[in-house]
Chain A
Amino acid sequence: MDYAAKRSAETKFYLLAALGGLVSAIGVGAALYMEHHGHAVTGMNNQIVWGLPHVFAIFLVVAASGVLNVASIGSVFGKTVYKTRGQLAGLLCFAMLAAGLVVILLDLGRADRIMVAATHVNLTSVFGWNMILYPGMFAIAFVYMWTLMEKRMYPYSKAAGFAAFIWRLMLTTGTGSIFGFIAARQAYQSAVVAPMFIIMSFAWGMAVFMVVQKAMYLWNGMALHPAIRNRFKRLLATFVAAVFYFVAVYHLTNIYYAKQTAFEQFILLDGGIFPQLFWGGWLVAGTLLPLALIFLPGLKDMPGSATLASLLIIVGAFCQLYVFIIGGEAFPLEIFPGMTAGSSFFDGRIDHYSPSLPELLLGIGGIGIAFTMVVVGVHVLKFLPEDDVAKLEAAGALAD
């Protein structure tokens, strides 16, 4: 690369990093505004207690654990194509986990009490487990990255990759169980929730990885080998189909129980924005269209179809989380089954949620933090995945 081109690339890097920094700073500013005025400036209330920041944070945390699968497939199953991408996957995991945690922490009513949260852990609380699971994930991901980057540590990368895979399963089980153990609200208590979150993490993490990889290849004027791209697309489609299966089981089991049918009627049919996001956002845009882009003959060879499918899966993920978290809270608690309730505290009434700008900006700020960490990490650590196509072809690793 000549000096002028290198300098231009450097300028572009600083511009990107500055853009990410700016978005992150706006997010932190929004959090400070919320901290100063209280949550009165948000759309959250005593019924819908978790809102848009939680949708963003949970997306980031769940996708963070999923993206590490790319590395695990490489190390644990010895797949060269995935192994090449292990370091980038580790960086993405680190960045999204950190960003998700920042959003959750900045949304706390008393974000200043972070040290209290770190030093008082109640082990009967799923949040309490997460106080151990999240730092543990950082530590294991760090050690795993070390085994991938340092030659002397290479022999340990399989063991570290295996540990990371097990830990990430536990982490997503923990995230899903935050909801899965809530008996109070109709939407949540279900044994399916934790495994559903695990499979969601597989799909979302892979989708994020595909988008980031595409952006890096475009940046460097490179192209992914079609055989490798097809392999990734098929794996992604498998994950998306599995998410569809788990979501279907979750709703069908609910419909089976008479006590849950009113909730299902609300979330799938009568609930306004929630059924719209469920059918239009998650099912059509986030599931069926990506599958069509991956498998349909006329669409699958279209340039950018894999990236478009990945982006749609991410859009579908946000719709799904919005329906699950906010739709689940909007439905009234059934405190007195068989009776119609009314009160000044909105008992028995379906709540509505209008997110305010600060909470939206806090969520987007989280994306900005992850983006900045990835841009800087990729630039400094040179994590561009480069396939040795000749070697892979010789080994028959690219045969369909």
Chain B
Amino acid sequence: MTAPDNKRRNFLAAAGAGAATLAIAPGINLIRVSAADEPQTKLASGKVRWGMLVDTTKCATGCDACVSACHQENGIVEEVEDPRQRSQWLRKIDLVEQGTGRQHSLPMMCQHCAEPPCVDVCPTGASFKRADGIVLVDRHTCIGCRYCMMACPYKARSFVHEPLTTQNPEVPRGVGCVEGCTFCVQRIDRGKNPACVDACPEAALVFGDLNDENSAIAKKLKEVASTQVRADLKLDTGVRYQGI
């Protein structure tokens, strides 16, 4: 038996490979282009502890640039009729000291506690703390029991009361689940600041790694007096306040 003539087979194989390359190449290029903006795929590091310092002496009453930026970044646009049922990941609180009348205005959000009560009470473990200290809700395992909302001392969590039609693809949300500030984790993983930090016109918010003594936040915390809200609970919050 003579050896088969493979010429035609080789030609077809080469042509097929060429066609496949033509078909896939644009995709490869697209992937390469988008890679620059992709979030990092490595695991969050336990060496890092993300935190924020709010300088309440700079924070102006009536200004809600941080709130708008947060809600735009995270696609929070639902309009439930009852305002008490709307999600608020970040809100401004106006305070008046009893007795002295001294006024403060400050942003309040998830304090990203080192000992988060929401994580303790969550029956399914959907509330969890990342290695770098960011407290998140796993939208796949949240059953919507709202126990975390009962347990959070900062009223920092919201329950999605209505089906959602528009949302940011990077920030999945859904009716029947609990949600709250993520420190804009999708931005942090790209090396950016949370949206509220960049939006503050007074630069009242400093964000960074509490564990890195050379970071701006660590230096500032060494320099100025700061407060943890409800420090009596010893939750070791990641968000600190200056001036209250």
Contacts and interface: CB of A to CB of B under 8 A. Distances in A.
B149 A125 contact: no
10 contacts: A46-B87, A46-B159, A109-B146, A109-B175, A110-B144, A124-B119, A336-B93, A340-B95, A343-B92, A346-B84
B160 A109 contact: yes
Given A127-B121, A343-B93, A38 B143 contact: no
A49 B159 contact: yes
A258 interface: no
A109 B178 CA distance: 9
Interface string A321-352: 00000000100010110111111111100010
B147 A184 contact: no
Interface string A82-111: 000000000000000000000000001111
Interface stretch (B30-38, B122-130, B181-189): B122-130
Interface of B: 80-88, 91-99, 104, 108, 117, 119-126, 140-147, 149-155, 157-163, 175-178, 229-230, 233, 244
B176 A38 contact: yes
A225 B145 CA distance: 46
Contacts of A341: 93-95
A341 B151 CA distance: 20
B150 A185 contact: yes
A245 B88 CA distance: 41
Contacts of B93: 335-336, 341-343, 347
Given A46-B155, A113-B141, A127-B147, A38 B95 contact: no
Which 8 A/B pairs are nearest by Cβ-Cβ distance? A109-B144, A109-B176, A127-B123, A45-B84, A184-B153, A49-B146, A120-B124, A40-B161
Among B123, B152, B159, residue most surrounded by chain A Cβ atoms (within 10 Å): B123
Contacts of A335: 93, 108, 153-155, 229-230
A45 B143 contact: no
B152 A184 contact: yes
B108 A109 contact: no
Interface string A32-64: 000101111000011101100000000000000
Contact of A116 (B91, B94, B141, B149): B141
Among B86, B140, B143, B175, residue most surrounded by chain A Cβ atoms (within 10 Å): B143
A131 interface: yes
Contact of A125 (B99, B121, B230): B121
A39 B159 contact: yes
A65 B125 CA distance: 27
Contacts of A45: 82, 84-85, 161
Given A50-B146, A125-B122, A338 B98 contact: yes
A117 interface: yes
Contacts of B96: 339-340
A269 B123 CA distance: 35
A345 B88 contact: yes
A4 B86 CA distance: 61
Interface in A153-200: 178, 181-185
Given A37-B162, A40-B82, A183-B153, A116 B124 contact: yes
Given A47-B84, A126-B121, A342 B145 contact: no
B176 A125 contact: no
A121 B140 CA distance: 14
Contacts of A124: 119-121
A130 B124 CA distance: 12
Contacts of A21: none
Contacts of A117: 123-124, 143
Contacts of B98: 338-340
Nearest to B233: A183
A114 B123 CA distance: 12
A127 B145 contact: yes
Contact of A40 (B162, B177, B178): B162
A128 interface: yes
A122 interface: yes
Contacts of B233: 183
Contacts of B88: 46, 344-345
Among B81, B98, B153, residue most surrounded by chain A Cβ atoms (within 10 Å): B153
Nearest to A333: B155
Among B84, B87, B146, residue most surrounded by chain A Cβ atoms (within 10 Å): B84
Contacts of A342: 93-95
B143 A109 contact: yes
Contacts of A340: 95-96, 98
A120 B145 CA distance: 14
Contacts of A182: 117, 121, 150-151
Nearest to A178: B147
Nearest to A118: B124
Contact of A47 (B81, B91, B155): B155
A108 B143 contact: yes
Given A116-B140, A120-B124, A184-B151, 20 more contacts: A46-B84, A46-B87, A50-B150, A108-B145, A110-B144, A110-B176, A116-B124, A116-B143, A125-B122, A127-B123, A182-B117, A183-B233, A184-B117, A335-B153, A338-B97, A339-B104, A343-B91, A343-B92, A343-B93, A347-B108
